[in-house]
Amino acid sequence: MMVTKEQALALYRAMQTIRQCEEGLARSYAAGLIHGACHTYVGEEAIAAGVCAHLTEDDAVFSTHRGHGHALAKGVTPRELFAELFGRATGCSRGRGGSMHLFKPEVGMMGTSGIVGPCILQATGAGYSFKLLNMPHVGVAFFGDGASNNGAFHEGINLAAIYQLPVLFVCENNQFATEVAFSYATRNTDVWKRSKSYGIPGVCVDGNDALAIFAAADEAVTRARGGGGPTLIECKTYRTRSHAEGMRDGGYRSLEEVEAWKGRDPLTRLAATLLDNGTVTQNELEAITQDVRATVEDAAEFAKNSPYPDGATATRFVYAEA
């Protein structure tokens, strides 16, 4: 698919932002600045960036435990992300969530989650709202291969299918549920093929090819907004860091396999394609990289200097305030 220069640069910027934030967060984790879990999205950046490129603030994204990339691509700022993981009052969830509960409903970021599966149901619910309210918005669920064996996958997709809801089900098949191989967990490792069972369109794309994802999401979002119902998009990909920061990363996959996938790095590939076909120049890409570097450094500094939330406020927001 041809993208405009503006789209290409935005895509590259989004992916650079995710990559550099993740690497910054990994350093912060090692430095003891992150108090809880930190699951990075390194190697999978093309998916969040390629899908969210088609979304507005009114569209609703529901994400997973590996959700920093979705949050950033949907409009959570690096400052808000770092501050949340640092447990600060300036974080996107005001310090109540951490990595696995990133919320910014103002831009349609409806949460990352510590439970695998519910995002599929919630995105379906967003689709129901938009249909009932007659609004042209879409619900998007990002989830991993692990979630595709959870009952929520079956129930959510079936409901979205029978009500013809405007929903994208984006399966990021990175081939491991923590350290359990997908090939062990199912006899059918092609998640997209399950779409046929539900009577909805399904498509398989290279999850490390940003332009392919951009094109597939474009089609699915257009169909959803036009009343054509949900789509299942499987993106075959790989996380190149360990399941979570601070965890060992061996015994379940080989170093050679990890290195091979690093060779398919989505950022390098996008850059090469865009340079090859003359859409952008090396200087333009370098300028983005440098700009993002400054943004991420600023975000880490901002987070470090932000106050912790007041313990006296810990029981606020359990119920709606008048």
Residue 252 in the binding site for another protein (CB under 8 A): no
Residue 307 in the binding site for another protein (CB under 8 A): no
Residue 204, beta-bridge partner list: 234
x-or-dash string of contact with another protein, 48-87, rule CB under 8 A: ------------x-x-------------------------
Distances (CA, A) of 66 to 8, 99, 270, 272: 25, 8, 22, 27
Task: State which of residues 123, 213, 267, 292 lies at the interface with another protein (CB under 8 A).
Answer: 123
Distance CA 9, CA 286 (A): 11
Q: Would you state the structure tokens that stand for residue 167, as one six-digit string?
A: 């929903």
Interface region with another protein, contact rule CB under 8 A, candidates 37-45, 48-56, 117-125, 271-279? 117-125
Cα angle 269-100-254, degrees, rounded to a multiple of 5: 45
Nearer to another protein, 155 or 219 (CB): 155
Q: Would you state the structure tokens that stand for residue 5, as one six-digit string?
A: 């220069």
Cα angle 70-76-77, degrees, rounded to a multiple of 5: 125
Cα angle 17-22-26, degrees, rounded to a multiple of 5: 150
Distances (CA, A) of 301 to 3, 10, 264, 298: 35, 25, 32, 5
Nearer to another protein, 131 or 239 (CB): 131
Distance CA 138, CA 78 (A): 24
Residue 272 in the binding site for another protein (CB under 8 A): no
**# binding residues, another protein (CB under 8 A):** 45
Query: How many other CB atoms are there within 10 angstroms of residue 183's CB atom?
Result: 11
Task: State which of residues 94, 225, 269, 304 lies at the interface with another protein (CB under 8 A).
Answer: 94
Residue 316 in the binding site for another protein (CB under 8 A): yes
CB of 307 to another protein, least distance (A): 15
Interface region with another protein, contact rule CB under 8 A, candidates 29-37, 66-74, 116-124, 215-223? 116-124
- Burial class of residue 284, CB neighbours in 10 A (0-12, 13-18, 19+): middle
Secondary structure, 3-state, 91-154:
CCCCCCCCCCCCCEHHHCECCCCCCCCHHHHHHHHHHHHHHHCCCCCCEEEEEECHHHHCHHHH
Task: State which of residues 27, 31, 35, 105 lies at the interface with another protein (CB under 8 A).
Answer: 105
Residue 199 in the binding site for another protein (CB under 8 A): no
Nearer to another protein, 53 or 152 (CB): 152
CB of 28 to another protein, least distance (A): 22
Task: State which of residues 65, 66, 131, 236 lies at the interface with another protein (CB under 8 A).
Answer: 131
Interface region with another protein, contact rule CB under 8 A, candidates 115-123, 190-198, 232-240, 263-271? 115-123
Residue 195 in the binding site for another protein (CB under 8 A): no
DSSP 161-201: HHTT--EEEEEEE-SEETTEEHHHH-S---GGGGHHHHTS-
Residue 163 in the binding site for another protein (CB under 8 A): yes
Binding site for another protein (CB under 8 A): 60, 62, 93-94, 96-97, 101, 103, 105-106, 110-111, 113, 115, 118, 120-133, 139, 151-152, 154-156, 158-159, 162-163, 316-321
